Structure 1
Amino acid sequence: MTEDPRPPAAPGKPAPLLPADSGRDRPLFAVAAILVFLACLAALGARGAWTVADGWMADLSGRMTVQILPVDGRDTGADAAEAAGLAQALPGVRRAEAGTRAEAEALLEPWLGGDGLPADLPVPLLVDIELAAMAPATAADLTAALEAAGIPARVDDHARWSEAVVRTARLARLMALGLLALIAGAAAAVIAFAARASLAARQSVVDALHLVGAQDGYIARLFERRFFVLGIRAGIAGAFFAFAIALLVTYGGPGQSEGFIPVWSFSLWDGAVLFLAPVLAGLIAALSARLAVASDLRARW
């Protein structure tokens, strides 16, 4: 009997115990990718609103405004210039600049139109004051100096606006965190439902593993690894589309930061959000699948 000259065939790669099921995985992949996409948009939008609120707070906390009131028999422009000089002389004031009538009329233009105001219309002038970072001057100090000089004026330290900005920023942050929590909960619920359906579809394989001595933890880890990979893939897809939408809004839309619109600008934080999204999606999917499968296995045996 002659020997077969062909070398023995190399052992094939063992098939996975839980092979992928494209028929069930495709819809789950799409839903998970959409949830990651929405979570990324919510996180990027919250970061933009956070940045805008911080910028507003920095501007309001470091400035005061003096409104020079027009009074018969007084030169409002001269009063504004004198008020700027008094403010500049106070300790804790970095800069004080008196506004002109043309600047005041430009501020009134959105309400009164751009055809020009009558020359005899009394228009209050503004004095913009920039405070020092260390030991800034207070509104009481400035008010006392203006009253001593007899200048009819009203001092605004922006405290009212600062409180409104703080409340708005806090509300925006809470809403963003709540939205992210809801999306994460929805993703966990979808993955748990899919893991239970996958467990039921592979009941014969699970029973065979249990008969040969596999523990519940080992079986749960099989589902955990499978859904972790699916979560990573869905996270990459969702983060990519969120990145594309952010680019479109940043460079393809109208001017940024108009009014209360958050600024979309890419920074290290944006990159961190988009980079961590697939990892977090994979971890949420793995944990949800493991808990759901372990719970069903305990109830079955």
Structure 2
Amino acid sequence: MIYASSEEQRGLRRFVDEADAGLRRDVPLVPAASIAGRALVTVIAIMTFLAGLTAGTAMLIANAADGWRGEVAREMTIQVRPVTGRDLDADVAAALDAARAIPGIADVYAYSKAQSEALLTPWLGAGLDLSELPVPRLIVVKLDPRAALDVDALRKAVIDKVPNATIDDHRLWLQRLSIMAGTVVVIAFVILALVMVAMVLAVGFATRGAMAGNREIIEVLHLVGAADGYISRQFQRHFFRLGLRGGIIGGGAAILVFLLSSSISVLMRTTAGGDQLEAMFGSFALSIKGYSVIVLIAGGIAVTTGLVSRLIVFRRLRELL
């Protein structure tokens, strides 16, 4: 057996008394403010911002894709191309009559020449004389949701009367939209998973560093009978506060970005390019559900930070046994 000198025993007793006094005063084992803590808050804020931005963007694209699918599924288009020797207006009228005779169609209307040319303005610019260009005429076919439409019968009826007409039922676009929306959701989940893994690793390194810096105090507390639950709770509370602070900063920044994007899209709505952008991607405005998801992500990251720290401390304390 190894015996300590009287001076060593007095030093150990003084250290134990100070540790025991710390227990009674409930002094935190980990300093409330430190360089490592501020660095961890910054990392968590960045991770939360990226996670919130990814989740919000995925929800915007998914909602836009749902709107596209709804609009495309309820409509079809007939395109009548101008051909030399044929009257374009007569061809449009014949295509309208043929489409109206098919069951399953709720409404049919044609774009005028001016409306058809206006569709090209965002790409070709305003002020151009398009009278010499062979601009096709579009006919919009509104489908009746209460009745089934025979697409082949519609195509035959229109083409028999107007050979220079083509019908687009948008099935290929629907398939592509579904694939795109699913891909965006999968990518968002992958990014969120990577963010969580990176955050867990950062919290793990920070917890081990905090334990290493307070190793002597932890060992003495462990020797004098401090419960593992008490020691782990100190670390859990400390890192939960850090995670909550970083989550609030990162989540708030993500919410601010979407609020600014929504405001900018409203200002751009009056321009031709803004109209096209809104038609493609929506108004960039998250719903209450979207903002709630960002808040849940921030809260989940804070809770995860505390739990990861607690588990690591428990594991290291078991190694002291």
Q: Does 1:20 align with 2:31?
A: yes
For residue 128 of structure 2, what is the aligned residue in structure 1?
A: 115
Higher helix proportion: 2
Q: Is the 8 A contact 2:109 2:140 kept in 1?
A: yes
Q: Shift of residue 155 of structure 1?
A: 0.8
Range with greater deviation from structure 2 (262-271 or 21-30): 262-271
- Selected match of 1:37 from 23, 39, 49: 49
Aligned-residue offset at 1:84:
1.8
Q: 1:287 aligns with which of 307, 313, 318?
A: 307
Residue 196 of structure 1: how far off its partner (Å): 0.9
- Relative to structure 1, is the Cα distance of residues 112 and 217 closer, same or farther in structure 2, using a 3 angstrom cutoff? closer
**1:229 is matched with which residue?**
241
2:164 pairs, out of 128, 152, 156, with: 152
- The normalised TM-score by structure 2 is 0.80
Are 2:94 and 1:82 aligned? yes
* 2:181 alignment partner in structure 1: 169
Residue in structure 2 matched with residue 133 of structure 1 by the alignment: 145
Alpha-carbon offset, residue 166 of structure 1: 1.7
Residue-by-residue CA offset, 1:260-298 (whole Å, 9 max, x unaligned): 556421421123123213311212102221232223233
Q: Is the 8 A contact 1:233 1:278 kept in 2?
A: no
Query: Structure 1 residues 91, 203: CA separation in 2 closer, same or farther (over 3 Å shift)?
Result: same
Q: Quote the sequence identity (%).
A: 34
* Structure 1: tracts of 5 or more residues without a match: 1-12
Q: Deviations over 1:227-263 (max 9, x none)?
A: 1222122211222222222222222466264475564
Query: Contact conserved, 2:255 with 2:291, CA < 8 A, in 1?
Result: no
Q: Structure 2: which 5+ runs fail to align?
A: 1-23, 269-273
TM-score, normalized by length of structure 1?
Answer: 0.85
Q: In structure 1, what is the Cα distance between the partners aligned to 2:252 and 2:69?
A: 33
Q: CA RMSD in A?
A: 2.5
- For this pair of structures, how many residues does the alignment match? 288
CA distance in 1 between counterparts of 2:175 and 2:287 reads 28
Q: 1:40-55 residue pairs with structure 2 within 5 A? A: 40-55=52-67
Is 1:269 the equivalent of 2:295?
A: no
Q: How does 1:200-279 map to 2 (within 5 A)?
A: 200-252=212-264, 255=268, 257-258=277-278, 260-261=280-281, 263-279=283-299
CA gap of 1:268–1:258, structure 2 versus 1, over 3 A, is closer
Q: CA deviation at 1:22?
A: 0.8
